């Protein structure tokens, strides 16, 4: 379950189970979910699934992801329905939300930047969807552009997600950032806890080159002040 100001989202079964999971999905169905935020039966997904970022995924990565998901064990069991407050429980409203906030423009390499920066740009803005947690939001749940990556209330309602722009990480080197994403410790020796601990576990499985690319991109973000709680 995923708590939010809009109610509780129940996380779906994405195992290859043919009845309760996505075992009957085609690669096209996964692509539509991640890139368009649409289910196989044509319904809008709530942006609790961060397709706002996944929409920038390259099709080869979607294919690779589906190939991996098909290797997982099938698990039976369907989650209960979402428990959302009115009017957010009206799914048709997501279509209007998309018109306002869903930017599907592709991520293009910037020839003025290094290969590592461009790789980090893709990893941070598409696959890792870092801004989804490290930003504050408006009353409709869309990221406020002026606080992107500058931190904000934890989407699950507990605590505050830190600012990761140079305004807060000015004393961190790119190596410090990459090392923290590998061992889960800040340069001062503090442990990265809460949901970030799970994220570190996943990012630590990336290559050292990818972690370095993420660090280079993060250190080059626009410096933004942390918004008040």
The tens digit of pLDDT for each residue in 176-206 reads 999 999 999 999 888 887 788 889 999 999 9
Angle, helices 115-122 vs 208-219, to 10°: value is: 90
Mean pLDDT of the chain: 94
Helices and strands: H and E segment counts in the chain: 9, 5
Task: Read off the pLDDT of each residue in 135-140 and give the average, rounded to a whole number.
Answer: 93
The residue ranking higher by pLDDT, 210 or 188, is 210
Note the pLDDT of residue 194.
76
Q: What is the spatial distance between Cα 117 and Cα 132, in angstroms, rounded to a whole number? A: 20
Cβ distance 210 to 181 under 8 Å? no
Helices (H), 47-194: 51-54, 59-69, 93-101, 115-122, 166-169, 174-183
Angle, helices 208-219 vs 174-183, to 10°: value is: 130
Task: Count Cβ atoms below 10 Å from residue 104 Cβ, excluding itself.
Answer: 12
Percentage of residues in the chain with pLDDT exceeding 70? 99
Give this prediction's pTM: 0.92
Q: Tell whether the model's pLDDT for residue 157 goes beyond 70.
A: no
Per residue in 89-136, pLDDT (tens digit) is 999 999 999 999 999 999 999 999 999 999 999 999 999 999 999 999
Note the pLDDT of residue 228.
82
Q: Tell whether the model's pLDDT for residue 60 goes beyond 70.
A: yes
């Amino acid at each position: 379950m995923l708590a939010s100001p809009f109610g509780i989202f129940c996380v779906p079964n994405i195992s290859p189970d043919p009845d309760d999971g996505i075992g009957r999905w085609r690669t096209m169905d996964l692509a539509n979910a991640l890139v368009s935020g649409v289910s196989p039966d044509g319904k809008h997904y709530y942006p609790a699934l961060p397709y706002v970022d996944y929409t920038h995924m390259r099709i080869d990565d979607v294919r690779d992801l589906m190939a991996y998901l098909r290797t997982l064990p099938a698990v039976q069991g369907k989650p209960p329905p979402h428990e959302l407050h009115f009017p957010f429980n009206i799914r048709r409203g997501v279509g209007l939300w998309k018109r306002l906030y869903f930017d599907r423009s592709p991520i293009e390499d910037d020839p003025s930047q290094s290969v590592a920066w461009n790789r980090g740009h893709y990893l941070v803005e598409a696959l890792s969807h870092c801004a989804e947690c490290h930003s504050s939001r408006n009353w409709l749940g869309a990221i406020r552009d002026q606080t992107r990556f500058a931190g904000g209330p934890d989407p699950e309602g507990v605590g505050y997600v830190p600012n990761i722009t140079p305004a807060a990480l000015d004393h961190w080197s790119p190596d410090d950032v990459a090392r923290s994403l590998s061992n889960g410790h800040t340069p001062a020796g503090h442990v990265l806890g809460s949901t970030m601990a799970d994220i570190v576990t996943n990012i630590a499985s990336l290559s050292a080159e990818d972690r370095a690319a993420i660090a280079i991109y993060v250190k080059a973000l626009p410096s933004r002040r942390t918004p008040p709680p």
